[in-house]
């Protein structure tokens, strides 16, 4: 079973103790993207990435400092968004980290795919950012099916805890023989079920933690997960879409 997650915008570069840093999977692709980003001025970054001046200058500085061969931090330890806060790696032991490295993948517009122990550096680049590289009109076109092929080569069911922005790097290429389980966290409000972004992100992190801490490899055991108000809703779920509701 392979769990896929979206990255977070905020990062703190940190390492797990007693673990080596692994090389990124897509050296050439990341270097091509970096070469393009390195040609941008802060005002270009502000416009293209739709960020304020402070973030644009910080991103510009990170781009100038970037070298793919430079070892910095472990991917799972570095992201600081709501999903990752709820994964709670601070109390992970040796077995937890090893299990995560084998069963978790973080999708990235810049790196393509990251294992928890992959070495990363500070960056900011959302998958939906419209930049043109090698005549490809956007990052989806640039990455094509490379992310899908990397994930599917593991011959494991895929558990989708990523946002649509990132899971779109995989879903267009899925074949009938592929096992892909989408996970939805929905709240019943005003007469209908809908996703509430903040609580859904927290639940994605908590489910990831649940899988890692309990070393879950059986898809059926995901149905036992509950967090806060969320629990499995068998009436709204099917074989390819597990829905958790309040």
* HEC readout, 132-177: CECCECCHHHHHCCHHHHHHHCCCCCEEECCCHHHHCCCHHHCCCC
Please compute the mean of the pLDDT values over residues 166-172 and round it to a whole number.
Answer: 97
Closest by CA to 199, choosing from 211, 185, 182, is: 185
Which residue do the tokens 């959302």 mark? 126
| Mean pLDDT of the residues in the chain | 95
Say what the pLDDT of residue 198 is: 95
Q: Domain map of the chain by residue range?
A: 2-182
CA 133 distance to own-chain centroid: 22
Please compute the mean of the pLDDT values over residues 168-187 and round it to a whole number.
Answer: 97
Query: pLDDT tens for residues 38-97?
Result: 999 999 999 999 999 999 999 999 999 998 777 799 999 999 999 999 999 999 999 999
Spatial distance between the Cα atoms of 237 and 152, rounded to a whole number of angstroms: 23
Quick check: 154 pLDDT over 90?
Answer: yes
Spatial distance between the Cα atoms of 88 and 205, rounded to a whole number of angstroms: 8
Please compute the mean of the pLDDT values over residues 122-146 and round it to a whole number.
Answer: 94
Please compute the mean of the pLDDT values over residues 153-175 and round it to a whole number.
Answer: 97
Closest by CA to 58, choosing from 32, 134, 66, is: 66
Say what the pLDDT of residue 70 is: 76
Please compute the mean of the pLDDT values over residues 136-162 and round it to a whole number.
Answer: 97
Closest by CA to 161, choosing from 102, 224, 86, 73, is: 86
Non-local CB neighbours of 144 within 8 Å, separated by 6+ positions: none
Say what the pLDDT of residue 107 is: 98
Q: Which helix (H) or strand (E) holds 227?
A: strand 226-227
Closest by CA to 171, choosing from 204, 141, 148, is: 148
**Would you state the structure tokens that stand for residue 146, as one six-digit string?**
């490379």
Q: Is 80 helix (H, G, I), strand (E, B) or coil?
A: coil
Q: Are 123 and 7 in contact (CB under 8 A)?
A: no
Say what the pLDDT of residue 185 is: 98
Query: pLDDT tens for residues 192-234?
Result: 999 999 999 999 999 999 999 999 999 999 999 999 999 999 9
Spatial distance between the Cα atoms of 97 and 54, rounded to a whole number of angstroms: 34
pTM of the model: 0.95
Q: How many helices (H) and strands (E) does the chain have?
A: 10, 11
Say what the pLDDT of residue 211 is: 98
């Amino acid at each position: 079973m392979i769990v896929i997650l979206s990255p977070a915008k905020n990062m703190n570069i940190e390492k797990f103790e007693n673990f080596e840093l692994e090389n990124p999977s897509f050296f050439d692709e990341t270097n091509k993207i970096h070469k393009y980003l390195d040609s941008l001025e802060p005002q270009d970054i502000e416009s293209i990435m739709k960020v304020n001046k402070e973030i644009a200058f910080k991103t510009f500085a990170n781009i100038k400092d970037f070298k793919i061969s430079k070892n910095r931090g472990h991917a799972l330890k570095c992201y600081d968004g709501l999903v990752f806060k709820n994964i709670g790696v601070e109390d992970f032991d040796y077995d937890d980290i090893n299990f995560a490295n084998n069963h978790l993948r973080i999708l990235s517009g810049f790196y393509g795919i990251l294992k928890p122990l992959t070495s990363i550096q500070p960056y900011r680049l959302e998958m939906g950012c419209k930049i043109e590289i090698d005549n490809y009109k956007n990052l989806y076109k640039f990455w094509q099916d490379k992310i899908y092929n990397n994930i599917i080569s593991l011959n494991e069911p895929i558990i989708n805890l990523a946002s649509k922005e990132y899971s779109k790097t995989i879903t267009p290429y899925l074949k009938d023989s592929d096992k892909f389980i989408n996970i939805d966290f929905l709240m019943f409000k005003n007469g209908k079920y809908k996703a509430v972004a903040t609580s859904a992100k927290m639940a994605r992190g908590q489910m990831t933690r649940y899988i890692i801490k309990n070393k879950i490899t059986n898809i059926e055991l995901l149905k036992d997960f509950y967090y806060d108000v969320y629990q499995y809703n068998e009436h709204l779920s099917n074989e390819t879409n597990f829905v958790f509701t309040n």
